Structure 1
Amino acid sequence: MSSEAAEVVRLLTVNGGTLAVAESLTGGLVAAEITSVPGASKVFRGSVTAYATALKQELLGVDATLLAERGAVDPQVAAQMAAGVRKALGADWGIATTGVAGPDRQDGQDVGTVFVAVDGPSGAGAGSARGGKVAHLRLNGDRAEIRMESVRSVLALLLTELAGEQTGNERAQDTERNGGF
């Protein structure tokens, strides 16, 4: 169990939020990392491992034209995967991984090219513009190292968003306590 996964579960529990995961290159490792945390069942809705490109469209609602034109390793694909799993599994937050772990290039992309995405509730937190966020990673190492770093990176991206939501909520509560000032 990673400290990132434990912190994700803690923040979601405190905020009453839920999470769904869409995975490609990580093949279920993100879900395994989250469910290794005691109490994860309070916040974790489930996951979809859409390893085959066609399943990204069929199960997660990724645009077929986008997949045909750009392939599965693309920032918009990652964003649509996160939004799609969030909707499909009825969660407050959706996260996704797509990329090339190796040993060969895929869709014209080099080994180590990874996109991780978070999709969250719109307007969560005071003064924040939520929705989708995507990070483009260029990872080094072997297949296992690329996959594990992808897990860590998507959890870190989600933590950044959850921390922003937490800060926004605290700011809103503080404003209420101080008479709106």
Structure 2
Amino acid sequence: MKATLGGGCFWCTEAVFQKLEGLNEIIPGYMGGTTPNPSYEEVCSGTTGHAEVIQINYDEDQLNYQDILGVFFKTHDPTTLNRQGNDIGTQYRSEIFYHNEEQREQAEAFIKGLTEQQVFDRPIVTKVSPADTFYEAEDYHVNYFNRNPNQPYCAAVIRPKVDKFVKSLA
């Protein structure tokens, strides 16, 4: 099965999801914009309309879509519009791109449940949108955190997020 999620910086999202069993592939990329074949620099400019996303191919015998959504909402702030922490811009928006009606229904129901349970102090702003053309990010973005753990952004932002997630699995 395939899931496509925008939860801020794709380096962060990829690093967190790499800790899950049952994922066959995680590809950082761009979705939801208007510019064909956008570059990282173009997406970061905020002019293409794309979100930084990860596209996940997962084994349904080990994980289900609800599991994927649970990790997604646990590991980013779905209440901040067009930002995650110090990363600001539409490319960092919280968005679920569904690949079929079942995913759309599950995503909307998941958000409704979180809202009813008042899991977050502020309203959830995560968009639920149909998946469109996925553009793979440049090769240097793939497995970025694991290849660059001492890079300042990785050490200051991604490492604490990954550590917190791993601790929550224990």
TM-score, scaled relative to structure 2: 0.31
Structure showing greater radius of gyration is: 1
Question: Greater strand percent: which structure?
Answer: 2
Question: Greater helix percent: which structure?
Answer: 1
Higher RCO structure, 1 or 2 (CA under 8 Å, sep 6+): 2
